[in-house]
Each structure stands twice: as structure tokens, then as C-alpha cells.
């Protein structure tokens, strides 16, 4: 019960259906509940979000689903206000919502560029801005931003994704420095290659899979369940002296 009594908002967490491939957000939501937290599952996927929360409630946990466009300031205001009304001020915000745009520089449109920066960087800004006042009043909190190893190193593709994840990484440090005095800790998690609903079909291609495994010193592709323990740690009081840090969970990819 490492998160006992804590109230958490986890964005992009509809991908938590039991018996299916889970995303980082969905797997984190289940683990947070098992560690004693109350969880607000937010996503733009209404059906999966509602089904996921129905399973959580059936298992005896306290969870609610809220539709949430993380690029919308008004949606952030509504989600945080409704969370406070339902459970109280949030102790934890996990900025997990994300997607990808698999294009090089010349193929990346302005629309794709803005969309990736909005989903991966603007959302962190909006979410942090919205939860900070209630966290400060409560005496502190933890914001965990799910970045990527692609926020640390380059690759031949996903140009705008790199920019968005890199922005979330440095934005994490800026917010951490600003609000350390309020006992609000802000850290980023940088997953490596992991099977999720977004990557499952792509990673299943034999050539792509072989190329990935060859790059991973531990010799295997990860899953959401490999990433979640780092998120739980940063959300918990065990990490009370950690802020502005980046936790890399990648099987050793960026170590060489």
C-alpha cells in the first residue's frame, strides 16, 4: 500500500482492459489502485475508458473515468475541479497521454508538428498549471511526466515526437525548480522500447523486432509492466528527496 490514501489523475489511461495489451497509463492505473490510491482515469477514448473503470470497480477499487482532451485548458479545469469534488485535491498527476507521428523532417507537416508538441508538451504545461494550486494548498504533491528515451536521443524518424518528448523533459526540470519550495516534486520517466497498443503491431514485424532487440543490452523488448514501477516510486513518499530528475527504463539502450 505504497500509495495509500493518495488521489491520482492519470491521463491517457483508458488502455487498461484486463486480458488485452495495456498501455503505460492503463497499467499504471491498476498498479496505483492496488497500492491504495483512488484513481481518475482520463482519456479521449470513451468506450475503453468506461470499460476499464467498470473492471476496476468490479474488482472493488475506487476509480472514475473522465473524458479528457489534454490539449484543452477547459478540459483540464473541468477534470481537476471534478476530481476535487469527488475525492479531494490530487496528490499525484501522471501526464501520460501521448501518440506518435512517424515522419522524418521533410515529411513532417506543420499540423503534425503542432499536434505532437501539443500532446506531449503543452499538456504537461496545462496539467501542471491546473494542479499546482490545489497541491500547494494541500502541502505538496508529485507530478510524473512520461517522456521517452526519444526525449534524450535521436532516431531516423518521428521528428516531431522527439521534439515533444524533449520538451516535456526540460519542462519537467523547470516546473520542479519553480515549485520545490511548495513540496511539489516533478520528475520524468523515459521508457525505452515497450509493447503497448500503440506499438504492438509495429514491433511484431520480425525485421523491426530483431532490430530492436539487437539494440537492447538486456535482450528483450519491455512492456508497460516494466515501466510502471518507476512511476509508482516517483508518485510515492519513497522518492521524497527526488525532483527534477529523469528515470530511464529502457533495458540499457541509452547506456551505450
CA distance 179 to 175: 6
Query: Which residues is 195 bridged to in the sheet?
Result: 223
As a dihedral over the C-alpha atoms of residue 124, residue 130, residue 136, residue 138, rounded to 10 degrees, the angle is -110
For CA atoms 206, 207, 212, 217, the dihedral sign is positive
* Distance, CA of 78 to CA of 67 (rounded, Å): 10
Q: Who's near 58: CB < 8 A, 6+ residues apart?
A: none
Helix (H) or strand (E) holding 43: strand 38-43
Radius of gyration of the chain (CA): 17
Cell of 167: 520538451
> Is the CB of residue 68 less than 8 Å from the CB of residue 75?
yes
**C-alpha grid cell, residue 234:** 516517483
Nearest CA among 221, 233, 231 for reference residue 12: 231
Taken as a whole, the chain contains a residue count of 256
Of 67, 87, 150, 161, catalytic: 161
Say whether 67 is catalytic.
Answer: no
- DSSP assigned state of 51: H
Name the nearest CA neighbour of 143 among 174, 115, 98, 99.
174
Please tell me what DSSP assigns to residue 14. Answer: -
* Residues classed as catalytic: 161
Amino acid at each position: 500500500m505504497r500509495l495509500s490514501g493518495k488521489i491520482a489523475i492519470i491521463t491517457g489511461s483508458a488502455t487498461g482492459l484486463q486480458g488485452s495489451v495495456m498501455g503505460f497509463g492503463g497499467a499504471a492505473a491498476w498498479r496505483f489502485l492496488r497500492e491504495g490510491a483512488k484513481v481518475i482515469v482520463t482519456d479521449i477514448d470513451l468506450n475503453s475508458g468506461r470499460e476499464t473503470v467498470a473492471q476496476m470497480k468490479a474488482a472493488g477499487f475506487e476509480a472514475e473515468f473522465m473524458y479528457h482532451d489534454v490539449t484543452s485548458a477547459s478540459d483540464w479545469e473541468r477534470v481537476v475541479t471534478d476530481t476535487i469534488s469527488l475525492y479531494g485535491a490530487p496528490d499525484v498527476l501522471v501526464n501520460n497521454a501521448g501518440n506518435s507521428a512517424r515522419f522524418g523532417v521533410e515529411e513532417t507537416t506543420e499540423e503534425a508538428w503542432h499536434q505532437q508538441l501539443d500532446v506531449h508538451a503543452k499538456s504537461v504545461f496545462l496539467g501542471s498549471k491546473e494542479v499546482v494550486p490545489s497541491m500547494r494548498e494541500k502541502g505538496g504533491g508529485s507530478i510524473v511526466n512520461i517522456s521517452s528515451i526519444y526525449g534524450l536521443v535521436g532516431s531516423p524518424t518521428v521528428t516531431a515526437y522527439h521534439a515533444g518528448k524533449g520538451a516535456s523533459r526540460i519542462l519537467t526540470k523547470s516546473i520542479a525548480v519553480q515549485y520545490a519550495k511548495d513540496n511539489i516534486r516533478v520528475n520524468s520517466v523515459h521508457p525505452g522500447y515497450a509493447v503497448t497498443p500503440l506499438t504492438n503491431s509495429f514491433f511484431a514485424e520480425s525485421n523491426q523486432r530483431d532490430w530492436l532487440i539487437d539494440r537492447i543490452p538486456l535482450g528483450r523488448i519491455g512492456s508497460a509492466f516494466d515501466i510502471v514501477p518507476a512511476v509508482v516510486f516517483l508518485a510515492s513518499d519513497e522518492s521524497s528527496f527526488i525532483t527534477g530528475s529523469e528515470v530511464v527504463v529502457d533495458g540499457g539502450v541509452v547506456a551505450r
